[in-house]
Amino acid sequence: MKWLMGGLLVVFLLLGSFLLTPSPVDSKAWNPPAPPPLTGPLAPNERLRLADLLARGQVYGPEDTTVGPDGVLYTGTQDGFIVRVFPGGRVENWLSTGGRPLGMVFDRLGNLIVADAWKGLLSISADGEITVLAREAGGTPFRFTDDVDIADDGRIYFTDASSRFEQPDYRLDLLEMRPHGRLLRYSRKTGKAEVLLGNLYFANGVAVSPDGNSVLVNETWKYRILRYWIRGPRAGQAEVFADNLPGFPDNLAVDDKGRYWVAFPTLRNSQVDTLHRYPWLKDLVAKLPDRLKPAPQEYGLVIAFDQNGEVITSLQDTRGTQLKEITSVNPHRDYLYFGSLHNDRIGRLAFQAIPGFGDNQ
């Protein structure tokens, strides 16, 4: 009996300590719409299993990719390195940013522009010199610099996913469900970054439209993509481009045919959608170790949209054995390249392997 009473006392103390510990989030309720059915162009398929695997086992967390003027594939890994993958397959740790490089793209001068989650917006010259372009906008420092794209006029569009939570705590931002994200623009002429659109629910991927009139930005936690007009009669206005998506949209890119390719790390999670209705429960879940929080399903998913936000096709790996947790998809010439936040490989799929895209139509 003494052992039982002692055990109950320990449980009571542990439970009391857990309940009395302040939550790291101040959650807000949200009633998400029912997820769309995976039918039509979203019907499950295994097209991603046809992809080649580059640098397999030699990189960890190649979150985004870009091909340089020299034809070399660049990516940023979890340990802070910018890694180069040469056409022959050789993999090289080129340099370390000292942070966590995420989105990246080359400018017209051959500089690698990087959104580093910890360091801010960076410019890296061909000889490896790192310059910090911006670390704050509107008086608020970046806490989670995420993705980046460059318009024809040279201005850089990028995102600060959350002004409250840093990259390792992205799950807390999801549970809190408050609009901490921002769409930003940097001008080399002024040397400053400005806020174009605030109050976003995890501002993630960004892509400038081919005509330069608008920019798309993913609102990951709201399962949607927004279009922000940067030129023309609607300049400064935002609208929904695609809504109620089947997963969490991450990075996106546009190909030379004007199609938008969006990466989804995983499908929507019914547990997360249910939790969103109960802020008090989310506050408790936020105090749990990550291993006890809802986990993402191992799944590979990429969706292509036309310029009106209609789904054209999807690429999937329903078991996530070839490619999973895809965080970026980048078209370059005849191929699509796939990055991942936690996988150990970069995927490459020829347009010819996609039904209806044989001639990159």
DSSP string, 250-262: --EEE-TTS-EEE
Q: Provide the CATH number for the domain around residue 84.
A: 2.120.10.30
pLDDT < 70: residue spans in the chain: 1-20, 359-361
Determine the pLDDT at residue 20. 61
Determine the pLDDT at residue 151. 98
Q: Is residue 323 part of a domain?
A: yes
Cβ-Cβ contacts under 8 Å for 145 (sequence gap 6 or more): 102, 115, 116, 117, 118, 119, 120, 121, 158, 159, 160, 161
Determine the pLDDT at residue 21. 86
Q: Are 347 and 71 in contact (CB under 8 A)?
A: no
Burial class (CB in 10 A: 0-12, 13-18, 19+), 293: middle
Q: pLDDT tens digits, residue range 18-29?
A: 466 899 999 999
| Chain position carrying tokens 């400053």 | 192
Strand partners, 74: 66, 84
Q: Is residue 4 part of a domain?
A: no
Distance CA 60, CA 344 (A): 5
Determine the pLDDT at residue 361. 54
Strand partners, 106: 112
Distance CA 181, CA 250 (A): 13
Q: Is residue 1 part of a domain?
A: no
Q: Is residue 16 part of a domain?
A: no
In the 8-state DSSP scheme, what is residue 100? -
Q: How many degrees, rounded to 5, is the angle at CA 216 between CA 211 and CA 217?
A: 160
Determine the pLDDT at residue 19. 60
User: How many domains, in total, are found in the chain?
Assistant: 1
| Chain position carrying tokens 């921002």 | 182
Burial class (CB in 10 A: 0-12, 13-18, 19+), 300: buried
Cα of 332 vs its chain's centroid, Å: 19
Q: Are 324 and 46 in contact (CB under 8 A)?
A: no
Neighbours of 70 (CB within 10 A): 12
Distance CA 77, CA 79 (A): 6
Neighbours of 291 (CB within 10 A): 6
Q: Is residue 314 part of a domain?
A: yes
Sheet of 224-229, strands arranged across: 203-208, 214-219, 224-229, 238-242
Torsion over CA: 183, 186, 190, 191 (sign): positive
Q: Is residue 77 part of a domain?
A: yes
The whole domain housing 169 covers 42-351
Q: Is residue 301 part of a domain?
A: yes
Q: Is residue 20 part of a domain?
A: no
Neighbours of 242 (CB within 10 A): 21
Distance CA 147, CA 131 (A): 17
Query: In this structure, what is the dihedral angle of CA atoms 246, 234, 200, 218, given to the nearest 10 degrees?
Result: 30
Distance CA 95, CA 82 (A): 5
Q: Are 340 and 325 in contact (CB under 8 A)?
A: yes
Distance CA 178, CA 200 (A): 8
Cβ-Cβ contacts under 8 Å for 127 (sequence gap 6 or more): none
Q: Are 262 and 252 in contact (CB under 8 A)?
A: yes
